[in-house]
Structure 1
């Protein structure tokens, strides 16, 4: 048994399933693939985000290697405005960085490449530079892949991987997933650096989502990530690395938002996710729980004209009731084949945990996350931060998870479903303080999260 869950399992007296033991020993066993049509991004409603007042956090990126996004509470609070860099300045700096990278493979050092990559990543994060990178995209991709394959230093590899992800989301291509998936999986499997494996997981997810991958390729990636999770990282020679397992869980959930029908892959996915609730790591537990909530949410879809009313039907207000109309939701399948009562007990315990081995901040995070997750499992049509408090018109408040757009006086983005939260978190992991720039200017970013912005 791997140490990642050993402590919690010993405390609870639970045993590990035969499938989990098989996977831990390298037995594999991914999610069965099925032929399903790709789920298009939800139709765009409302107007584009209003002209922003630079409310995003323009703090330094440090060395540019971070992948963790800000917490939801940090996102809700508007950031501070930084001095805007003149357009001609950052464009010229970007051209210089690309020139440096093109020449560095022949005569440069790892330290020099790291410096150039840091500048390149910082600029692509903070600015939408599609016009500037388009003509040199293929050349730059090849240069970055050389850094990934060389596996010289962990910092260079991680920066090159992040640069690849930023290139893909800045200037997508329908063929880039085919070109990058092989080298990225090789990095995940064989890199000597755990941080590089983690970065490659994130980059592979982005290239699959935005790089023209087929639904079969998408489901294959989900199966691959599930194997990583179920073995606690052992299948890629990174046993008991909680950060790596968290990354695989996060990206599994992000990719799952593209799959319209999860009925066939949910049972095995749910089994693995429930096992991870026993992890000794808070991040792993929360990532697994948020995926469980997503699977429950996806088990319900909007009623169609030929659907008959049933006892499990629920009517919920569209967009958290803001337009006064209701949408009837139909339960299409049962998201769990095991003991749902036991799952609810586990989620309830996590929502109220008082374990002294956890810090106060970790307990707070668990309470907040699993209160929402439990609410969705018990009421699958309720998204994160759902409030049953009544407004002045006697209707439930609905989701109260709102992200400020544009600073004081600007609009607010309501995140009222788990698929939206998973996509928001994935974008924040990559784009960090540049999220609002890309959301306003980058069409593919907006189309992947087409949320109506409410005016204050």
Structure 2
């Protein structure tokens, strides 16, 4: 089996000594494992992206989303927009009444239930049935009768966690989700459980200490290329662990003590053969650099080496560097430059385009940590200043939009998109838990008094 961290650049890099020693020792300790992973998983760590629909955001320069439109979600369950409540109650009854259901029937019901919760805000409809729904859904996850039932149950649990925004979901589900990640023989189930665990922690009542424990668990997956959960060399599993580590990290204020070990793993994964792994690792690196700067206190002097270039923020909101993120930033910038201009034919044209776009932004933020994704250095002809941040925006309605001008915002948006797919816009408008996760800015259209519109 090829090592996930095999050479991916044309610079002649090889696997680090530390990575090799980890793989050798871990492989020796697990020599008796009989878990077999699907052979095709490594090549496709992310679902194919599709063009955004009218229900999705109109963000310029946005990353590619692996989502379905709102209409697609409803079509998946043959549901008319005005009939979702009746259909939802029918599906709830089918989920909780397990004695009268077949494996395929439960999977169908869980699939429909999850899709309705993505497309419609149904907290009032499911909250009274939570004590019945959660145990039944967890039983479908625990039994692993079929991969489809497990995956639909994981999606249903994820959608419930976001809908309810309850403090009880995490305590009920955490152990079972960790067991699936560690012990399941299905790679898609491991991936689904990683995403579900993170969402359950964020929206389901996990403490900061519990969230940090999950991040440690995910970092072990990343450091071992998946070997710690019997998924060695499975890019989809490592990508999921990277993505959800980053999502949970957005909620942790002080990352100084954990930055070094995390950076060690992320920098190592920049040499992965999987573009999805590389991008997710790079985004986490950008997040850690961003977090190394915090606002200046009122009574705090501005350091002598501080400059306006490094603090492109309004007066009174200057950001101060608190600690060094990585011991060899020069080498890191060199690696990021290579990824931003990689031309090898060993990866597809689409993946090359993704790497170029993503790592141009990541490199910019590593060199200038106060600059977020899609920061523009182009000069405004009127002011003579750079346009700066805010080129990536998500329009919610005529008056509300989300500016994705920070890496923590992008990582949260990505997590919500994975969980809610094309229902994100509707959920943002209706579900306070979603809008609280991403702050919005008001926009107003200038009205021409002579216009007929």
Give yes or no for TM over 0.5.
yes
- 1:402 Cα deviation from its structure 2 partner: 2.6
| DSSP-derived class of the 1:304 partner | coil
| DSSP-derived class of the 2:4 partner | helix
Q: Which residue of 2 aligns with 1:56?
A: 55
> Residue 121 of structure 2 contacts residue 431 of structure 2 at CA under 8 Å; is this kept in 1?
yes
Q: Which residue of 2 aligns with 1:371?
A: 360
- 1:176 Cα deviation from its structure 2 partner: 2.0
Stretch deviating more after TM superposition (425-434 or 111-120):
111-120
Stretch deviating more after TM superposition (377-386 or 14-23):
14-23
> Residue 125 of structure 1 contacts residue 432 of structure 1 at CA under 8 Å; is this kept in 2?
yes
> Residue 6 of structure 2 contacts residue 15 of structure 2 at CA under 8 Å; is this kept in 1?
no
Counterpart check, 1:423 vs 2:412: yes
More contact order relative to length (CA 8 Å, sep ≥ 6): 1
Q: Which residue of 2 aligns with 1:333?
A: 323
Of 395, 414, 424 in structure 1, the residue corresponding to residue 403 of structure 2 is 414
Tell me how large the CA RMSD over aligned residues is. Answer: 2.8
Counterpart check, 1:92 vs 2:86: yes
- Counterparts of 1:317-396 in structure 2, within 5 Å, are 325=315, 327-337=317-327, 339-391=328-380, 392-396=382-386
Q: Which residue of 2 aligns with 1:31?
A: none
User: Structure 1 residues 276, 312: CA separation in 2 closer, same or farther (over 3 Å shift)?
Assistant: farther
Counterpart check, 1:260 vs 2:250: no
How many residues were matched structurally?
411
User: Structure 1 residues 95, 347: CA separation in 2 closer, same or farther (over 3 Å shift)?
Assistant: same
| DSSP-derived class of the 2:6 partner | helix
Stretch deviating more after TM superposition (360-369 or 384-393):
384-393
Q: Which residue of 1 aligns with 2:393?
A: 403
Q: Which residue of 2 aligns with 1:39?
A: none
| DSSP-derived class of the 2:256 partner | coil
> Residue 187 of structure 2 contacts residue 231 of structure 2 at CA under 8 Å; is this kept in 1?
yes
| DSSP-derived class of the 1:344 partner | helix
| DSSP-derived class of the 2:376 partner | strand
- 1:298 Cα deviation from its structure 2 partner: 0.2
| Partner Cα separation in structure 2 for residue 218 and residue 81 of structure 1 | 34
Q: Which residue of 1 aligns with 2:448?
A: none
Q: TM-score, normalised by structure 1?
A: 0.84
> Residue 414 of structure 1 contacts residue 453 of structure 1 at CA under 8 Å; is this kept in 2?
no
| Partner Cα separation in structure 2 for residue 414 and residue 24 of structure 1 | 45
| DSSP-derived class of the 1:118 partner | helix
| Partner Cα separation in structure 1 for residue 399 and residue 86 of structure 2 | 31
> Residue 310 of structure 2 contacts residue 369 of structure 2 at CA under 8 Å; is this kept in 1?
no
| DSSP-derived class of the 1:6 partner | coil
| Partner Cα separation in structure 2 for residue 223 and residue 26 of structure 1 | 17
Structure 1: gaps of 5 or more residues:
28-53, 59-70
> Residue 128 of structure 1 contacts residue 442 of structure 1 at CA under 8 Å; is this kept in 2?
yes
- 1:370 Cα deviation from its structure 2 partner: 0.3
Of 150, 157, 175 in structure 2, the residue corresponding to residue 157 of structure 1 is 150
Q: Which residue of 1 aligns with 2:215?
A: 222
Alpha-carbon displacement from aligned partner over 1:373-427 (angstroms, at most 9, x marks no partner): 00000000000000112222222211243334257x6654211000000000000
User: Structure 1 residues 187, 270: CA separation in 2 closer, same or farther (over 3 Å shift)?
Assistant: same
Q: Which residue of 2 aligns with 1:174?
A: 167
> Residue 233 of structure 1 contacts residue 241 of structure 1 at CA under 8 Å; is this kept in 2?
yes
- 1:109 Cα deviation from its structure 2 partner: 1.5
Q: Which residue of 1 aligns with 2:39?
A: none
Q: Which residue of 1 aligns with 2:46?
A: none
Alpha-carbon displacement from aligned partner over 1:47-67 (angstroms, at most 9, x marks no partner): xxxxxxx94149xxxxxxxxx
Q: Which residue of 2 aligns with 1:12?
A: 12
Stretch deviating more after TM superposition (339-348 or 410-419):
410-419
Counterpart check, 1:192 vs 2:192: no
Structure 2: gaps of 5 or more residues:
28-52, 446-453
Runs of 4+ with >4 A deviation: 79-88, 314-318
